[in-house]
Structure 1
Amino acid sequence: MVKEKKPLRIGLCGAGIGGLAAAIALQRAGAQVTVLEAAPELGEIGAGIQMTPNVSRLLIQWGVADVIGDNLVEFEELNMRKMDGTKVGYTKMMPDMRRDLGFPWWVVHRAHLHEGLVKVAEKEGARLLINSRVTSISYQSSPHVTVTTSSGATHTFELLIGSDGVNSIVRRTLFPYVKPTPPTSNCAYRAIVPYEQVRQDPVARELAEKLTMEVWMSEGSYIITYPISKGKDLNLVLAHHVPDNRLVDQVEDVSIEELRETYKDYDLRIKTVVDMIESVQRWPLLVTSLPSWSSASKNIVLIGDAAHSMTNHMAQGAATSMEDGAFLGRCISSVISGHITLADAVSIYETERMPKAHFKQQLSFLNGAIWQLPDGPAQEARDAAMKPELERRLFLRSSNLYGDPKTVLGVYGYDAGRHADEAIFQFLRGRRRGDWRVGRGIEKETYDDVMGLFMPEGRKGGARGGED
């Protein structure tokens, strides 16, 4: 049995949503965690974010949900609409989603989520250091990693985790030639409008009668809305393509006239809400693809947007980073208990999580295309595939991926902790039999039982190949 030096010192570069989730999971695993944050204070900018069941389970498990309280909003239903307001798809969210997956589908303001993660991370014992911008990383001359910050302070860790987003200095250190790129001219506006303002408008007030998520689909653009902040605010995400198909890789200020022009032909109810927006910025949708997420010696590893930024069309960017942290936490627990080495833990994490993240990147591309189809045969086929759910008839597949049974189970029903436990079990069984490859050396019944939680039907018991 491998003996690992204790306590295991782990550093995280970046105190965003993914970094804090990882800090919680790693502290609970028994590691000694230090989070280095460049900003002068802890906080989160932006608007709303979806905490789908695959990560609401983590918020509950870690006690973060109790801290956030009723700022976590569980909405009643999802309505899929054409731009003229015609309803073409529907998913009953409450109580059906909670009943089927065992966990709720929450929506929340990013600031409330971040605040809850900070409080729990500190309660678990993580050190959160602000004004600690990482300027250099030394990792090749020693098994340990030494980090220097802008103040001249140095920190030494057995493992450094890059949780510092799309502009990650940790990723640039490992892969200086990689740059997150916008795959298309598709971008997003983000805005918040008070529900009370919507309720007072005679045209728009119908949209505020109950707490729902609404998706308005059109060629080259869409709008998604949902409630946040105890149901007091309406969050809007407005997808669009930049004029002249220009690729955008930085946040841009945009005139309110350009925003309104893009959505001027939408249903009057949602157009009225869009006209309530007072200022807006254009946010790029950047995708990161890497050959590896770690250093050759496995003493540095990437999580979240630093490793696999993706488009926002499946609401899985932050969720996938939180899954990374939960999975890595389980692996580190096995390191601390002496069952595997630190290098083993990083290898298992990469082997299992990289295909999962790649699958979500591709699925997000697909959903963005589905929501932005031009009128014609493809759009008609999309709407026809959603119709059984809209009519409350039995269905097996749907182009509404938020309600499609296979997608819901494979993405929103995924359990990162159980996946990690199973991967470690497979690794240990394989090692005893002389086969070190993850996913081998396990009885078929156990493999089918657990892998079935996060793989589609028909893949159980077969070779792993690609994920999902």
Structure 2
Amino acid sequence: MARRRRDLHVGIVGAGIGGVMASIAMAHAGCTVTVLEAASQLGEIGAGIQMVTPNVARLLIKYGVDKAIGKDLVRFDEFNLRRKDGTKVGHTFIKQVEDATGFPWWLVHRHHLHTGLVDVARKRGVNLRINSRVVQLQQQPDGKVFVTTEHKHTYTFDLLVGSDGIQSVVRNTLFPDVKPRPPNGNCAYRAIVPYDEVRKDPLTRELVEDKNGNLVKTMEVWMAPTGYIISYPLSDCKDFNMVLNHFQEKPVDCVEEVSLEEVKDQYKGYDPRIKRAIDMIKPPISRWPLLVTGPLDSWSNAEKNVVLIGDACHSMVNHMAQGAATSMEDGAFLAQCLGAVVDGRLSISDAVAVHEKCRMPKASYKQQLSFLNGWLWLLPDGPAADARDRTMKGELEGRVSMRSANLYGDPTTVLECYEYDAEAHARDGIAAWLNAGRPVRDATSTVERLEAEKIANWFLPEGHKFPIRPRM
């Protein structure tokens, strides 16, 4: 018997990177999507950088966002980990990561990423509403959600998605006692210097050029117990971006403007090349908090028709550059579940339940991974830092390491984090849910579909993949 398709109107609160990515994927899945944004214009406010690691590059490519961004997506060649004096202790060829995952690793200015997402969302028919700050949510007797904005506009949705960031109105409504917090005094300055200035200075030139004067595109990290610096190119190599990690005695919970002298004081003993690049920074300069939300016991209300995604439910420290990536994964995963609602396989409450069951552990993993990577970069000088650096020695010698403290190139992290396919995970989660909660296995071999994908099918051409034939 043919399944009956249903109309599904989804409201998304917040038009940031995660919310707009979700709107694109949900429109593609057959939903009618309205996005309510509090600001008076569309655009990302906040830290101006983003790493598009392979786990989300696959999403940008699928939905055509990569073409909308164009040359402002920067491919880079290598990642280098250094002691604060510039001594290289770890190394990853980015092409090796790309070859292992099958997708590129891009660097992009957050504005360019957001603009590309908005462009694609509009082309897919998403209704993007600015000046629409949500002030009230109400459950309706028919199971729908009634939303009121501060300008008294009202909307009724089958499902409401809270993608409104760290200070989420939707989360505050569902879980008023949850407060994002800085786990310690660690925080970050962020700054961009024109690439041309870096290339003109004889001292900093070698950060961006080879000995023949050719442009080089690398990501560099200088590690020290007092803080690390990470640098990389943005905007078609017009901008040299720096994230300058450091500690404050009192935990920072809001953005603060600081002086250039304060920034210089934090990095007095570092590599002279990066110190000179810091001298090129032009005010204003801001200190950004690193706030963590959760892990929460639930991302949804009791009725399962309001659900959180992104920083609203799992904000994380920035040491793996996975905050926005994880938000985009959430939206793509949830969209697959809602596609199963549209085609009649799942109810809305089941779709939300599948989303939580599968995505909550993954987001918690990303939060832990991010914190641990920062901890590794900030180890005190001495036996601990020396042991860390020894794990990366093979990388410098061109050998393949089975394990490494360089999590940007460690084989386990690459496969768990960067090869991850949120949409495939969703399809597997849906199949398991429809199979009474049991993983889908082959009837004769007992091999699970997910394991077949990870172990065998990732390299096999179509027609040769391991067949999963569930018992009927």
Normalising by structure 1, report the TM-score.
0.92
Cα displacement (A) at 1:96: 2.3
SS in 2 for 1:221: coil
Shift of 1:438: 5.7
Q: Deviations over 1:126-177 (max 9, x none)?
A: 0000000111111265511111001110000010000000000000000000
Structure 1, unpaired ranges of 5+: 431-436, 455-468
**Preserved contact between residue 37 and residue 131 of structure 1 (Cα < 8 Å):** yes
Instruction: Tell me what 2:411 maps to.
Output: 405
* Partner residue, 2:286: 281
1:269 pairs with 2:270: no
In structure 2, how many angstroms separate the alpha carbons of the residues matched to 1:187 and 1:81? 20
1:194-229 CA-partner distances (Å, limit 9, x unpaired) = 110001111111101111000110013000011110
2:247 is the counterpart of 1:246:
no
Residue number in structure 2 paired with 1:351: 357
How many positions carry a matched residue from both structures? 445
Q: Does 1:61 align with 2:65?
A: no
Deviation at 1:7?
1.6
1:376 alignment counterpart: 382
Q: Does the Cα contact within 8 Å between 1:13 and 1:35 map onto a contact in 2?
A: yes
Equivalent residues of 2:33, 2:126 under 8 A apart: yes
Map of 2:262 onto structure 1: 258
In structure 2, what residue type is equivalent to 1:135? Answer: V
| Distance in 2 between residues matched to 1:159 and 1:256, nearest whole Å | 47
CA drift at 1:447: 4.0
Report the counterpart of residue 25 of structure 2 in structure 1.
25
Q: Distance in 2 between matches of 1:380 and 1:214?
A: 19
- After superposition, residues 313-352 of structure 1 pair within 5 angstroms as 313-352=319-358
**Cα shift at 1:99:** 1.7
SS of 1:301's equivalent in the other structure is strand
1:267 corresponds to which letter in structure 2? D
Name the aligned partner's letter for residue 139 of structure 2.
Answer: Y
State how far apart, in whole Å, the 1-side matches of 2:251 and 2:91 are: 33
| Residue 394 (structure 2) pairs with residue 393 (structure 1) | no
Structure 2: give runs of 5+ residues left out of the alignment.
210-215, 458-472
- The answer (yes or no) to whether the contact 1:2–1:341 under 8 Å persists in 2 is no
For 2:232, the equivalent position in structure 1 comes to 226
Write the letter of the residue equivalent to 2:451: D
Deviation, 1:394, is 2.4
- The 10-residue stretch of structure 1 (37-46 or 136-145) with the greater mean CA deviation from structure 2: 136-145
Shift in alpha-carbon separation, 1:452–1:359, aligned structure 2, 3 A: farther
The answer (yes or no) to whether the contact 2:72–2:236 under 8 Å persists in 1 is yes
Please tell me whether the aligned partners of residues 6 and 341 of structure 2 are also in contact (alpha carbons under 8 angstroms). Answer: no
In structure 1, how many angstroms separate the alpha carbons of the residues matched to 2:4 and 2:10?
Answer: 13
Q: In structure 1, what is the equivalent of residue 6 of structure 2?
A: 6
Q: Residues 301 and 307 of structure 2 are in contact (CA less than 8 Å); yes or no, is this contact kept in structure 1?
A: yes
Give the CA deviation at 1:2: 11
Q: How does 1:28-107 map to 2 (within 5 A)?
A: 28-45=28-45, 46-93=47-94, 95-107=95-107
CA distance change for structure 1 residues 438 and 335 in 2, over 3 Å: closer, same or farther? farther
Report which stretch shifted further, 332-341 or 40-49: 40-49
User: Match of 1:188, SS?
Assistant: strand
Indicate conservation of the 8 Å contact 2:6/2:344, yes or no.
no
Counterpart in the other structure of 2:188: 188
Q: CA deviation at 1:255?
A: 1.6
Which one-letter code corresponds to 1:316 in the other structure? Q
1:139-154 aligned within 5 A = 139=139, 141-154=141-154
Matches of 2:182 and 2:4, distance apart in 1: 42
SS at match of 2:357: helix
Contact 1:260-1:274 at 8 Å conserved across structures = yes
Deviations 1:265-302 (A, max 9, x none): 11000000011112210110000011100011100000
**Do the aligned residues in 1 keep the contact of 2:310 with 2:330 (CA within 8 Å)?**
yes
Whether contact under 8 Å (2:5, 2:343) holds in the other structure is no
- Equivalent residues of 2:196, 2:238 under 8 A apart: yes
Contact 1:304 1:317 survives alignment (8 Å) = yes
Give distance in 1, aligned partners of 2:367 and 2:456: 20
2:205 corresponding residue in structure 1: 205
Letter paired with 1:127: N
**Structure 1 residue 439: Cα displacement:** 3.9
User: Do the aligned residues in 2 keep the contact of 1:426 with 1:441 (CA within 8 Å)?
Assistant: no
CA contact (8 A) 2:314 2:364 kept: yes
CA distance in 1, matches of 2:8, 2:56: 26
1:137 and 1:357 map into 2 onto residues whose CA distance is: 26
Which residue type is aligned with residue 283 of structure 1?
A: W
Contact 2:431–2:440 (CA<8 Å) still a contact in 1? no
Q: Does 1:449 align with 2:452?
A: yes
Q: CA deviation at 1:4?
A: 7.1
| Alpha-carbon offset, residue 6 of structure 1 | 2.9
> Would the alpha carbon gap of residues 363 and 453 (structure 1) be closer, same or farther in structure 2, given more than 3 Å must change?
farther
Alpha-carbon deviation of 1:391?
A: 1.0
Q: What's the secondary structure of 1:137's corresponding residue?
A: strand
For the 8 Å contact 1:77–1:91, the answer to whether it is kept is: yes
> In the alignment, what sits opposite 1:16?
16
Aligned to 1:428: 434
Residue 72 of structure 1 aligns to which amino acid in structure 2? L
Using the TM superposition, name which of 165-174 and 441-450 deviates more.
441-450
